[in-house]
Structure 1
């Protein structure tokens, strides 16, 4: 999908307004603090029900206001939106005029991916960030993953309660058995997805990191020793887990590493090369989402000038031309996006100042 119209009321510092976006590429230009990242954040909230900048949702509402609204109309006329009222604590979700209770319903209709200067947490932020990235793609590409993960999470909670409460052996054995079965199902889906992602990644690496593409790979760790069954691992570590009070092994502990040769990428690549790798990885995931035809993704790139020199932005432009999805890019000035402007003029450019968004003529 692509967003045709975006409306925001009392979201961050954005002025209450509706903007009409291009279905191909949109450039958002403005100084730091002007509101350009808030625009991306509003779109991201529509797709995820949360921010990519803060875990405190109350920070998203305009100062001295108690409610924000974000809504969008896509290229097929579908209207979807979410309103968060902090006075009542209520969240209202509407899709095609119908009310929904779960924010996850939005993600069925809109897939949003974002790359920010903080995206380097994929390398430095521990496994949590990498797990989140992989599972986002899984949600859209492997349609059975959502139900598998919900069931796994329920079982994990029960098993952790058994360990924490020192349940009897039979009860712990039962929950350990179903936990192993659920872990294997989730791990299998992840393994399949990471193999697909690795294949899709190569052509994007050849576009953006041609001299390094051949040596880059993704290494997947399922959450327990792959040479042993999970049941054996749990049995051998039962006393450790009882002492910890939670499950130390299983699908919840998976991780991925991005390697060049046998060395993690962040120890070998410059910051600019790392950002190009992140872009290639995100583009690969976007194409996988597109291939399953569940929903075409929207790609958000915040502060494109950070870490990327002129040559890198030219390489990025070549890659964007291969994408078949809506792209929304922010930058401090027009100079930063000049290498990305399409020659066929199929784009829109906006300027943001003090939350006010205005179109810039071509």
Structure 2
């Protein structure tokens, strides 16, 4: 899908904005604090029901206001909207109907984001990588949501038994379910990681051709590949009771990114790491498109950071091969020059003090 028009009310420093976007490429310039990142954040919120910058809803709502609204019309003429209040109340509308949940909204809007915070995929621990992989699975493997929901219920029950030091038939029952569902989820994730790795190789060959052959993804399912899960649970039963939670299982999976068998963050430069993140995000976006035939939206915040002109030109070549809508921000317009397509099928916007204006061809901005 693509967003034809976006309306934002009382979101961060965007008091009110109503913008018509290009279906493919949208470039946004503005000083730090102008509101350009807030614009991307509002699009992200529409697809995820949360921010990529903060966990506190009150930080998204303008002071002295009690809620914000983000709504959009897509290329299929669907009207999508979300309203959040300071007390956590939420209202979601799809084509005027309010009987929907965030997961329903996410099915319409598949949003991937690359920001300075995306480097947490390397440095933020397994939790960040789990979020990234499971986001892709949510859109690509439709059965995953139900399976994962059932697993989490069993995980909660098993952890409750461990905390309460319950043994015997009750723990045995949850152990059996826990092992069965962990195996199912591990297989689904393993298959997805294999697909993602194959897709990633295609984009690395375009974006990082000199390094592509030495980069690898390694999936770790959450327990030793040489051991059965039920054996580990029996062996570490006393430890798990001591800690009060499950030490092994599908909830502990991880994905490692390596260059010549070393973590990429220890070998690649900051710019190379960002190019890798771009390739990884594009690969996942492409899998979503192939699975759903719904083009995802990619948000890239501050394209000028860590990337020189040559790297931006290489990235532009990759972007030209995508079937999706992109929103790219930069502080300076010249940082976007390498991204401009030969065809005039893009739009450029300037944001200043929370006001968004479209820049016409050849127009200068202050």
TM-score bracket, shorter-length normalisation: over 0.9
Segments of structure 2 that go 5 or more residues without pairing to the other structure are 362-366
Report deviation, 1:98. 1.3
CA distance in 1, matches of 2:355, 2:40: 14
Q: Paired residue for 1:23?
A: 23
Answering whether residue 192 of structure 2 is matched by residue 188 of structure 1, we say: no
CA distance in 2, matches of 1:182, 1:112: 28
Q: Paired residue for 1:355?
A: 354
CA distance in 2, matches of 1:265, 1:23: 34
Answering whether residue 39 of structure 2 is matched by residue 39 of structure 1, we say: yes
Aligned pairs for 1:235-314 (under 5 A) are 235-293=234-292, 295-314=294-313
Report deviation, 1:121. 0.7
Runs of 4+ off more than 6 Å: none
Aligned pairs for 1:1-362 (under 5 A) are 1-86=1-86, 89-293=88-292, 295-362=294-361
Q: Paired residue for 2:364?
A: none
Is contact 2:57–2:86 with CA below 8 Å preserved after alignment? Answer: no
Moved more, 11-20 or 313-322: 11-20
SS at match of 2:258: strand
Report deviation, 1:24. 0.7
Report deviation, 1:262. 1.0
Report deviation, 1:295. 2.5
SS at match of 2:11: coil
Moved more, 99-108 or 75-84: 99-108
CA distance in 1, matches of 2:318, 2:134: 24
Report deviation, 1:293. 2.1
SS at match of 1:100: coil
Report deviation, 1:15. 2.6
CA distance in 1, matches of 2:194, 2:299: 25
Is contact 1:140–1:294 with CA below 8 Å preserved after alignment? Answer: no
Report deviation, 1:268. 1.0
Report deviation, 1:208. 0.8
Moved more, 135-144 or 167-176: 167-176
Q: Deviations over 1:234-269 (max 9, x none)?
A: 111000000000000000000010011211111111
Report deviation, 1:105. 1.3
| TM-score normalised to structure 1 length | 0.98
Aligned-pair Cα RMSD in Å: 0.9
Report deviation, 1:97. 1.5
Q: How many residues align?
A: 361
Is contact 1:166–1:242 with CA below 8 Å preserved after alignment? Answer: yes
Report deviation, 1:215. 1.2
CA distance in 1, matches of 2:331, 2:228: 52
CA distance in 2, matches of 1:200, 1:336: 28
CA distance in 2, matches of 1:319, 1:166: 55
CA distance in 1, matches of 2:358, 2:70: 20
Q: Deviations over 1:27-74 (max 9, x none)?
A: 110000000000000000000000000011111101111010000000
Segments of structure 1 that go 5 or more residues without pairing to the other structure are none
SS at match of 1:137: helix
Is contact 1:31–1:332 with CA below 8 Å preserved after alignment? Answer: yes
CA distance in 1, matches of 2:350, 2:221: 45
Is contact 2:299–2:326 with CA below 8 Å preserved after alignment? Answer: yes
CA distance in 2, matches of 1:101, 1:75: 20
CA distance in 2, matches of 1:294, 1:342: 24
Is contact 1:81–1:94 with CA below 8 Å preserved after alignment? Answer: yes
Is contact 2:94–2:100 with CA below 8 Å preserved after alignment? Answer: no
| TM-score normalised to structure 2 length | 0.97
CA distance in 2, matches of 1:212, 1:86: 47
CA distance in 1, matches of 2:314, 2:339: 9
